[in-house]
Structure 1
Amino acid sequence: MANSSSNKSTERRTSVLPIEKTCITSQEKSTPLPDRDNLQTINENTVEKNTTKVSNEKQFSYFQLFKYSTTFERFLVAAGIIFASLASVCITYSIIIYAEFASLLIDRSVGIGTSSPATILQLFGGGTKLTNTSREENLQAIRDDALTNTVSLELRIKLG
């Protein structure tokens, strides 16, 4: 019986041995890490190689890319720049209109004191300055401001 148990242990050991051999061989093949001084030298050499590659490359300006374009393509690029600028102005415009309208709604709902100045809404017929007015005058001013806000935002939609 003792014989059979020793056979089992050797069978287990032989099944583990190939794994141990592969671990040992992979450790033997690995290279040690370089020390700090050697690492700094390697980094300096790498930087020198990379900078020489960049200096050998031919440099182009942005406008030289258009030498292969047609007149129509140049026109499209210019139109794209103009319309993108116009769209950014329209976004800023709509934020200002909304801020003025919200400020006037709050001022007129309270109904006490003088309402805030609304310079852009005044261009479209709204944003009148009211001081200590009645409830009906406040409601009429809110309706006028709402109509003015709608007109000015429609203009923004048409442009942008």
Structure 2
Amino acid sequence: MADIDVRKLADQLDAAQKILDEIRITSGCEAFGPPLPMNAARVERAVEAAQKALRDRQVRTDFVGNAEMFGEPAWDIMLDLFIRQAQDENVSIKAACMSPGAKSSTVLRWLNVLEMNDLVRCEADPSDSKRYLIRLTPAGYEGMLRYLETISA
């Protein structure tokens, strides 16, 4: 009897956690818990890890060839946006589409998917009404930062 109650309680807790995560994400709060303190060394290590990941992917393509077959456009976009955003660069949609290794149509499709998953957001450029900028959302940026810190440790 006690096993059944424990299983039921565990299922209820799992369901509650899923709801809590949805609330955090839709409200703009971090699903990772409170953000860690931001400091230059932390961001620099993560940027170096992202740059290394992009270089490694390019070397793989150089040796194996066929960037489309072994490509991961969504991941390349996330790495590139993270690096540029960490360096306070604005990235236009046009600039994002010029990334090596993927066709513009592929990049646009993946930007749409990333936006639907709340990892990136598209905003009008305040200095140019005809241009749109793409940025990682707070959750996307924090997720990339924590992942890159983990792999660089």
Q: Report the TM range for the smaller structure's normalisation.
A: under 0.3
RCO comparison, higher one (Cα < 8 Å, 6+): 2
Structure 1 or 2: more helix by fraction: 1
Q: State the TM-score, normalizing by the size of structure 1.
A: 0.23
Structure 1 or 2: more strand by fraction: 2
Q: State the TM-score, normalizing by the size of structure 2.
A: 0.23
